[in-house]
Amino acid sequence: MKILHTADWHLGKRLDNFNRLEEQILVLNEICEIADEQAVDVVIVAGDLFDTFNPPVEAIELLYKTLKRLTNKGKRPVIAIAGNHDSPSRIDSPDPLARECGIIFMGLPNTKVQTLQLDDGFEITKTDDGFIEFKLPNYSYPLRIIATPYANEMRMKEYFGEEKNVALQEALKKSWGKIAETYCDEHGVNMLTTHLFMQKRGGETLEEPDGEKPLKIGNADLVYSDTIPSQIQYVALGHLHRFQNVGSDEQPVIYSGSPLAYSFAEAGQQKYVNIIKAEQNKTVEQERIPLKEGKLLVRKRFKSIDMDMAVAWLSENQNTLVELTIESDDYLKPEDSKRLHSAHQGIVHIIPIVTNENRMDLSTKQVNLNQDVTALFADYFKSVKGQNPNQEILDLFKEVINQQS
């Protein structure tokens, strides 16, 4: 059977002032088309469906429409779990209605899905807290999924009936081990999906997404991939935005990554969905499919004297979101800033970098207190920015001063 794994949709997320909804519509449409072309039997969305607890209406509509489309009229189960950005109750609440369409929402680690049989569709034959067994129309063997939506360390242990002083790592190992022992024999396909910060023991320390709510605080919520029971053939993870395997070839533990680059730390990253071919009692085959939609995030650096070059580059790379660094000896002039912005609609930040060396150090320099306040301000500005303020800034300063008197 074929499973499509995706995660971290973050519907409703913005990049500063830039709304990403149009791109999200395009890339989710692309994911639906991949699911159809590849004729996948099951879809897993491993958390962070929304970006906030109270997402905008357009994001909610986009989620429901996309998941419904993915179910292929109730023939293809779609399992969507909550991530750390999602409100568990918001994810759980449409469940009775969603289930009839073939969408299984799981908001909490102890969510117990009800058994179900859809006309001409699939069947949910067994369930337990955080566990579902599916019978799919075209397969003689079942698919089992252990699903652990995000909860913080303390709550997670509570749901699993563990003491506070037990490490999360141990609590998960015990709970997953018990479910795997009970339900996951070699006569079916066995998978696990969760939204956690997981890495390989002894492996490199992975970076959490920029601007994300971090899970790893003093390593408290860090879990190693050796907690995974041996019966599990594939782990579908959410949280980290870059595609990566933190398991092994024999037992892949995969972050599918987000479908769009959501911060400049992800600039230039190719995004994917992962397609898994699984059979009972066999190592899975995987193929990651690159996503084409969405704007590229680009970090670009120019010297202010090469303003024409910057403008030319911007004109030629319209379908991008740009973080522009401008090196100059003087404070960036408003007319330059205007020129850059009129050449490109997607400049998210302009970072001015001062290259001259006559930055003053206030700690060693005697401040001349006999100057007027505007001259003092100019001195201060130069000490902080390394440049003299331009006339516009001085005028603005004077205006502020005058308003106060």
Where do contacts with Mn ion occur on this chain (CB under 5 A)? 48, 83-84, 239
Q: Provide the pairing of β-strand 14-15 with 285-290.
A: unpaired
How many C-beta atoms surround the C-beta of residue 239 within 10 A? 30
**Minimum distance between the CB of residue 185 and Mn ion, rounded to whole angstroms?**
32
User: Which strands, in side-by-side order, build the sheet including 347-354?
Assistant: 296-303, 320-328, 347-354
Residue 220 or 353 having the CB closest to Mn ion: 220
Q: For 260-295, where are the E strands, in sequence order?
A: 272-277, 285-290
Compute the least distance from the CB of residue 241 to Mn ion, in Å: 9
Closest CA to 123 of 138, 109, 110, 111: 138
Q: Return the number of the residue (47 or 188) whose C-beta is nearest Mn ion.
A: 47
Which tokens belong to 191? Answer: 């998978």
Q: Write out the E strands in 249-367.
A: 253-255, 272-277, 285-290, 296-303, 320-328, 347-354
Going from the C-alpha of 357 to that of each of 352, 381, 386, the distances in angstroms are: 15, 15, 8
Least distance from Mn ion to the Cβ atom of residue 85, Å: 6
Q: Which is nearer to Mn ion, 255 or 313 (CB)?
A: 255
Query: Going by DSSP bridges, is the β-strand pair 320-328/296-303 parallel, antiparallel, or unpaired?
Result: parallel
Nearer CB in complex with Mn ion: 83/102: 83
Q: Give the nearer residue to Mn ion in terms of CB position, either 48 or 336.
A: 48
If the CB atoms of residues 269 and 317 are measured against Mn ion, the closer one turns out to be 269
DSSP assignment of 331-350, as one string?
A: PPPHHHHHHHHHH-TTEEEE
From CA 13, how far away is CA 263, in angstroms rounded?
10
The alpha carbon of 22 is separated from its chain's Cα centroid by a whole number of angstroms, namely 17
Residue (of 31, 66, 49) closest to 291 by Cα position: 31
Residue number with CB closer to Mn ion (40 or 254):
254
CB of 220 to Mn ion, least distance (A): 16
Q: Which residue is nearest to Mn ion (CB)?
A: 239
Rounded to the nearest whole angstrom, what is the least distance from the CB of residue 27 to Mn ion in the complex? 18
CA–CA gap between residue 378 and residue 305 (Å, rounded): 24
Chain mean position to CA 401: 45
Minimum distance, C-beta of residue 150 to Mn ion, in the bound complex (Å) = 7
Query: What's the min distance (Å) between Cβ of 274 and Mn ion?
Result: 17
- Closer CB to Mn ion, residue 102 or residue 209? 209
Q: Are 360 and 336 contacting, i.e. CB atoms less than 8 angstroms apart?
A: no
- The least CB distance from residue 106 to Mn ion, in Å, is 15
